[in-house]
Amino acid sequence: MLQFCRRLVSKGLKATLAITTFISNTTQPMFDSAVQLDMISDGYDEGGFEQAGDTQAYVAGLGAVGSKTLAELIKRHEISGHPVDCVIYDAFLPWALDVAKQHGMAGAAFFTQTCAVNYIYHHVHHGLLALPVPSFPVSIPGLPLLELEDMPSYIYMHGSYPAYFEMVLSQFSNVEKADYVVVNTFYKLEEKTNTNELITTSSKPKPSFSGPASSPVEWHKDPFGDWKML
């Protein structure tokens, strides 16, 4: 997400990256004069994930407290004279789109996992791929025939991490309300993947390709002058 913020700044836009209070208090983010940092809370400011105790509790706290503190962040920026125009959120956090809409602003879903993986999860979410998968190979339009070992881990080991799996599928819970959808893709490897199906209504704009969000070349080459890749 930081890399994506830097790309936006390189196009002349202002970008603020929201991190949790716990991360802000326990790390030393590299100073970046172009990308501002601001805080939201996941409900576990003292201990982060470890304080929550388990994944389900953490995800619940992040959704409940994160929604409230994101709304407060938006209000702070409005009062400061630098209002937020658009909330770009990791699709794993669909509640961020609800907050954006409550404040009358645009929302952009950023699918940070590779497009083909999300395309498979999309089929699961909409009941187009039954779990556990009854037989192999699996045929999904736009993808080669898939064996069990080709599947994302939450399908390959179905039932192993239910809280994370629920979070993965929640990416599609309200994506049709997003004003923009950004897809992370190695396009030449995934050009036949039907990314338009990630949006469930034809009235919305087609997904924008932003990938790969970080490539091996970019990790070693600084395309923004003095900035250093993390």
- CB-based contacts of 183, cutoff 8 Å, min separation 6: 111, 115, 118, 195, 198, 207, 208, 209, 210, 211
134 occurs within a structural domain: no
> Quick one: which of 77, 47, 49, 76 has its CA closest to 62?
49
The pair of three-digit structure tokens given for residue 133, joined into one six-digit string: 């998968």
Token reading at 73: 């962040």
Average pLDDT, stretch 136-154?
92
Inside any domain, residue 169 = no
| Residue range 80-102: mean pLDDT, rounded | 97
Total domains present in the chain: 1
Inside any domain, residue 165: no
Look up the domain containing 38 and give its range: 1-116+175-229
Confidence (pTM): 0.82
Residues forming beta bridges with residue 107, ordered by sequence position:
87
Alpha carbon 31 to its chain's center = 23
Q: What's the average model confidence in pLDDT over 173-199? A: 73
Q: Closest Cα partner for 152 from 125, 180, 192?
A: 125
Determine phi and psi for 35, rounding to 5 degrees: -105, 115
| Mean pLDDT, the chain, integer | 84
Q: Which amino acid is at 78?
A: E
Positions of E strands within 70-173? 86-90, 106-114
Q: What is the mean pLDDT of residues 148-176?
A: 93
- In terms of pLDDT, which residue wins out, 223 or 131? 131
Q: How many Cβ atoms are within 10 Å of 147's Cβ, its own excluded?
A: 11
- What does the block give as tokens for 37? 């940092």
